[in-house]
Chain A
Amino acid sequence: MQAQNIINKIWDKHLVSRQKNFPDVLYIDRILLHEVTSAQAFTEIHERGLSIRNKQNILATIDHSIPTDKNRININDPIARTQVNTLRDNCKNHNITIYDIDSNHQGIVHVIGPELGFTLPGTTIVCGDSHTSTHGAFGALAFGVGTSEILHAMASSCILQEKPKTFKVEFVGTPSKYFTAKDAVLKLIATIGIGGAKGCVIEYVGDYIKSLSMESRMTICNMSIECGARAGLIAPDTTTLNYLQNREYTPKGADFEKLIKQCRELVSDKDAYYDTEIIIDISNATPMITWGINPEHAIALDELTPDVENAQDRLTLEKAYAYTKLQPKQSLKGVPIDFAFIGSCTNGRIEDMRVVADILKNRHIASNVTMYIVPGSEQVLKEACEEGLDKIFAAAGADFRMPGCSMCLGMNPDKVPPGKRCISSTNRNFIGRQGPNSITHLASPATVAASAVLGYIASVQNIDSYGATK
């Protein structure tokens, strides 16, 4: 039999039918819902008199529109309140499981799916959110889709899609001490561009990937969409299975043994074909940061911002510099910041909280900085409190808040004010993403925390005595 990569293996296994001149009918094992992109799908279910095919395969939560203050139960914004209540009503009427506020599992949809063991190797998953690629960290084929395709998946357990091209990304080499998974994926995006993996599903391979925790793997798969990929995944291994064991929806007993066996098959065959392959050398690589208005505008903190002379996309670069109030060929180190944000489906997990606490311990954030730390879920919040991280954050002057998407996209009251500069552990530095006319620099949680302490863009290395006292 011809050598196959894992992407095609999962695709072929979920192929329901294939007809000439039609896209493939692909079976969807799991659907994740949140308040922003589902209401219109439910409306159409009602209007067209359809039923939901496999309710047990659907899980919902509330994340984008809710406030993150302690009184979040009262949503003051009437439109957001209606949106949240609509999801509650829809789930109730259709008997769909929803993890609501104070259920112990409410959180960002891409944080709670894995946390509950709902995300499993070899499955197909859709959600009305582009960062659904996160679930690929478990060897799942997970697509971000629009509202129409949520409707399709709910009504038929299938979606119509052309088979994707495949793209192999191998990270090689040993990076410097403070280089994290976030830096690795930013380096990939800077290398291939924000449309670089268009039409493709990425498989991430190599020793570096295998050495990463599930949290870090999720960070990498999460940002696959930022280089245009339809999804990104990593073949499951012992790290994956260890993470999944004993979680709420993870198969138990003999069924877990079966999952272990299935995972052995869920690898790309030796010499499997990919439409594109790239090697990203991260030998001695240092932390990354974005300077512009999309995630490909990323450089190492040690580098200078790019020149516009002779640049192919000069117009975009000039627009980016004008918006971020920076100059070509300047260093970002030392640029004063107003806000620091830790959170999101990219970097709002317990590992990220620990990294930040490690830097903030016995330190205080700079007086010019407002720092929000928003856990990705109620479970992350609980674990952080059990470990005493909440006290470290409070002592450092940071605001440790309730779970949600928060300042990543500013749909709720958490926004960066106009003209203010934020260093952020999130995924998009688009114009106005964190609030109208706000400026975003994407970086790792470690770089965000170090910059918050110093009051300007800096690496962990720049903090006095860091390393010596640890």
Chain B
Amino acid sequence: MDKFRQLSASVIPLDLDNIDTDMIIPAIHLKSISRSGYGDGLFSALKELYPDFIFNNAKYSSGQILLSKANFGCGSSREHAVWAILQYGIKIVVCSSFSDIFFNNAAKNGLLLIALPESIINKWIKLSLEDPDLAMTVNLLNNKISFNKEEYDFDYDPYRKHCLIEGLDDLTYLLSQDTAITEYEVKRG
């Protein structure tokens, strides 16, 4: 897993609640047995349906930070949604809340998810829609996020932060628990 520490990049504002994983990567793209090749499938159905969809707008094509609203990533558990976002080139998703499975999947692939209060999200989406060139800066080392000269602290789980900064994955930790797992199995019989 790649290490993540900080990033300054332009933003893609997606002004909708409840972005589900069927929208992020439609089922038609899930037949591959590979972990790669999903970037082109990102939001493919919405891109086709809505010509004015933000991912069809060339002004936002270089964005590396996705800004959206509540309950992002709800629905199917497909980890392909996280792979598609990362492979498109997005490194961070900033929303007012995330669904649980998506949140777990993201951390395991080095995709940073930041939750901020709805009022800030709404204001920043509006700003970004007005000016596609506005850049956002995220520093995971000190939990700071800034946009348009406003800076806020964000909460991030200390375990996941450690994993992202050091590029570690959960399996390394789980495998280090081998003795405890064996003891548990023996005790249970």
Contact = CB atoms under 8 A, between A and B. Distances in A.
Interface stretch (B55-63, B69-77, B144-152): B69-77
Contacts of A151: 171
A148 B170 contact: yes
Given A40-B34, A130-B76, A149 B104 contact: yes
Contacts of B20: 294, 428, 430
Contact of A77 (B31, B105, B178): B31
Given A43-B33, A50-B175, 7 more contacts: A36-B31, A40-B34, A145-B101, A148-B105, A148-B171, A313-B17, A315-B15
B51 interface: no
A380 interface: no
Given A39-B33, A148-B105, A17 B177 contact: yes
A409 interface: yes
A195 interface: yes
Interface string B54-94: 00000000000000001100111111001000000000000
A431 B22 contact: yes
A156 B175 contact: yes
B132 interface: no
A430 B101 contact: no
A428 B45 CA distance: 16
Given A151-B171, A198-B100, A130 B45 contact: no
Interface in B6-65: 15-18, 20, 22-23, 26-28, 30-35, 45-46, 48-49
Nearest to B161: A21
Contact of A156 (B49, B97, B109, B181): B181
Contact of A145 (B27, B70, B77, B99): B77
B184 A228 contact: no
Interface in B170-188: 170-171, 173-175, 177-178, 180-181, 184-185
A151 B158 CA distance: 23
A436 interface: yes
Given A82-B33, A130-B76, A152-B170, A21 B159 contact: yes
Contacts of B49: 431-432, 436-437
B184 A155 contact: no
Contacts of B18: 194-195, 294, 316
A285 interface: no
B177 A430 contact: no
A146 B76 CA distance: 9
B104 A146 contact: yes
A47 B23 CA distance: 31
Interface in A423-470: 428, 430-433, 436-437
Interface string A134-174: 00000000001111110110011111110000000000000
Contact of B108 (A22, A149, A155, A228): A149
B170 A160 contact: yes
Given A410-B28, A428-B22, A316 B17 contact: yes
Contacts of A339: none
Given A82-B33, A198-B71, A316-B17, A27 B26 contact: no
A25 B180 contact: yes
A428 B22 CA distance: 10
A175 B30 CA distance: 40
Among B26, B71, B82, B100, residue most surrounded by chain A Cβ atoms (within 10 Å): B100
Interface in B84-136: 97, 99-101, 104-105, 108-109
13 contacts: A16-B177, A25-B177, A25-B181, A40-B33, A80-B31, A146-B79, A146-B82, A195-B71, A411-B30, A428-B76, A432-B22, A432-B23, A436-B49
Nearest to B71: A195
A327 B178 CA distance: 58
Interface string A64-85: 1100000000000101101100
Nearest to B184: A16
Contact of A198 (B26, B32, B33, B97): B97
Given A22-B173, A152-B174, A195-B18, A146 B23 contact: no
Given A156-B171, A230-B100, A86 B33 contact: yes
A129 interface: yes
B180 A83 contact: no
A392 B35 CA distance: 45
A23 interface: yes
A130 B75 contact: yes
A160 B177 CA distance: 11
Contacts of B101: 130, 144-146, 230
Nearest to B188: A27
B156 to A, nearest CB: 12
A319 interface: yes
A117 interface: no
A33 to B, nearest CB: 13
A410 B177 CA distance: 40
A79 B32 contact: yes
B100 A199 contact: yes
Contacts of A36: 30-31, 78
A8 interface: no
A37 interface: yes
A128 interface: yes
A313 B69 CA distance: 11
B124 to A, nearest CB: 16
Contacts of A432: 22-23, 26, 45, 49
A22 B174 CA distance: 11
Contacts of B97: 195, 198
A192 B22 CA distance: 22
A194 B74 contact: yes
Nearest to B34: A40
A151 B185 CA distance: 19
A83 B170 CA distance: 26
A195 B70 contact: yes
